[in-house]
Structure 1
């Protein structure tokens, strides 16, 4: 694709269209090395986690979390897509980008970004860039920017979490399905080769899975959405899957770009959900080939497995399911949030 004139761009624009295949040398911020070295750690070389601010993080990303907290400067209009891993992140990135950028990138355009790029090449993973010392890349994005994070709400810089000029969209998933999807993703990406699903399950029950504890991740955004619904939208993957068109309408309204009567009459909400469906995205060359990632390159095809509800029954015994259900129910008690089995 021809180079973009960045001086006249209005966002959101695909991250890769601004930066191309530019892979700068990774230079993690070394001023946090002493902090990281003192943090509790668990796991193996291919699944090494450290406990930072009560959250278990991948070792190589801890400097990025600290750097985001200390250095990130939000802009008015920033949209942050937040999620635990494997909860519909790729889908949410596609839906949000297509919805927000529909004026600049009509769905009828054969060169639409989501037809030629993986959604992760459109919406950058914020703390990975900060971990690599590449946060300046975000400055080159025109506003409004769409960014992604796996940070717990409690870890977000206050300048972002409490900013009335920024929006946060959080998506979560039934924890058992999330764990199964996480396991498959780790395995398909070549990680944790000597571990079993039961190992990940045990860690999750103890709150020590990647980005865990699960309940802390979910509760933080749930409470924030109740306290400030105009700033934080809380979505559940299962509800989105059951009625994706309504989910897209809700997303558009929240982001301040509701569909017009003409767009509704033309079926645009349905067209966006069709373009961004897992079946459509899985079939695109952009998602069959190539890879994305900063420290680890994840094959694009690994982001599209099943995307269904209830796959946990093929991986967990009834006893395992009852155990994790009981733990999650106990941790969420009194919040008004529940997950059905």
Structure 2
């Protein structure tokens, strides 16, 4: 008789990261290893974050050692998919859509027990840079292929094997005016007295986490123009306008296109419904308590589900502020073929 080990099927990914992260992987920190490097970098305080200028971008100080290790040691698998975004540009939604679309064979989106009904999207798709910052890269090795991962790093800071086409990358961007509003609300969850003007000014002068924003966006835009087969560039506003069409694009890009039978069965609509803002915000797992896998362990879970709309900037920003940020972004993007409406 064959042994149980021989007959047990190896799980096929993507699987929820939290289901694999059982806490048994020993942690080590690269902070001490690269302490001198970090200390020598230009420093700037932005709200609750201490930033360091690393290779042209202002990164939270605790990201830098992990970024160095990530750049030097990460080995992508050919079927990996890296979900990238500037903070507060649709990260949580992209994670949910990508996971639901990629894992639908094992987890039908309409199933009551779907992982996204019991786990926050950040528990399903891990932040790579946070994993390396905590010295927990062995956890990535435990994930079965294909792996879904996320980063807030710009494309130019990704490891060379990734930017050379070693795996697929999906990037989502957002109107910078709405991003500023969302970022301010998010940061206020830990610093309630943070002024909107302070957040706005840090974005305008580029000294914001993972900024300058325009350089971050352009790094992925240029990569998508050069390698559209390896980098998919999405806009949050387009996702809002026609979620179904973009879910189809996303699934096809990840190598898991919807079949005619799935289309007829309504699977695309089921993914859209499962990952809709109202559906996700209403789930108990996304309302109660704090703590998720990875970067946001201390953030309240409901901080990731505020409004999920476009145009909310008009409720927070004066016309003069909006015109100023639009002008800065327009000048930075001039001649690239990318524009925000």
TM-score bucket of the superposed structures, by smaller chain: over 0.9
| Aligned counterpart in structure 2 of residue 148 of structure 1, from 147, 150, 157 | 150
Unaligned regions of 5+ residues in structure 2, if any? 1-6
Cα deviations by residue, 1:194-247 (Å, 9 ceiling, x for unpaired): 531111111111111111101001111111101110000000000110100001
The superposition leaves residues 67-103 of structure 1 with CA deviations (integer Å, 9 ceiling, x where unpaired) of 1101111111000000000111000000000101110
Distance 1:150 1:143 in 2: 22
Distance 1:202 1:80, change over 3 A: same
Q: Would you say 1:187 and 2:188 are equivalent positions?
A: yes
Tell me which residue corresponds to 1:107.
Answer: 109
- Which residue pairs with 2:255 in the alignment? 256
Relative to structure 1, the CA distance from residue 203 to residue 120 in structure 2 (aligned partners, 3 Å threshold; closer, same or farther) is same
Aligned pairs (5 A) from 1:1-341: 8-20=10-22, 27-43=29-45, 46-163=48-165, 165-188=166-189, 190-191=190-191, 193-290=192-289, 291-292=291-292, 293-294=294-295, 296-340=297-341
Could you tell me how far apart the structure 2 residues matched to 1:288 and 1:36 are?
A: 37
SS across alignment from 2:34: helix
CA 1:195 to 1:45, structure 2 compared with 1: closer, same or farther past 3 Å?
Answer: closer
**What RMSD, in angstroms, separates the aligned Cα atoms of the two structures?**
1.8
What is the SS of the residue equivalent to 1:42?
strand
Does structure 2 conserve the Cα–Cα contact (< 8 Å) formed by 1:88 and 1:173?
A: yes
What's 2:4 paired with? none
| Aligned residues of 1:123 and 1:147 also touching (Cα < 8 A) | yes
Shift of 1:28: 3.8
- SS state of the match for residue 325, structure 1? helix
Gaps of 5+ in 1: none
Any runs of at least 4 consecutive aligned residues in structure 1 with deviations exceeding 3 A, and if so which?
A: 20-26, 293-296
CA distance in 2, matches of 1:296, 1:268: 32
Displacement of 1:250 in angstroms is 0.7
Q: Does the CA-based 8 Å contact 1:132-1:294 persist in structure 2?
A: no
TM-score of the two chains, using structure 2 as the length reference: 0.94
SS at 1:130 equivalent: helix
Task: Report the Cα offset of residue 314 of structure 1.
Answer: 1.1
Task: State the alpha-carbon separation in 1 of the partners of residues 24 and 59 from structure 2.
Answer: 26
Q: C-alpha offsets along residues 122-160 of structure 1, whole Å, 9 cap, x if unaligned?
A: 000111111111111111001110000011011111101
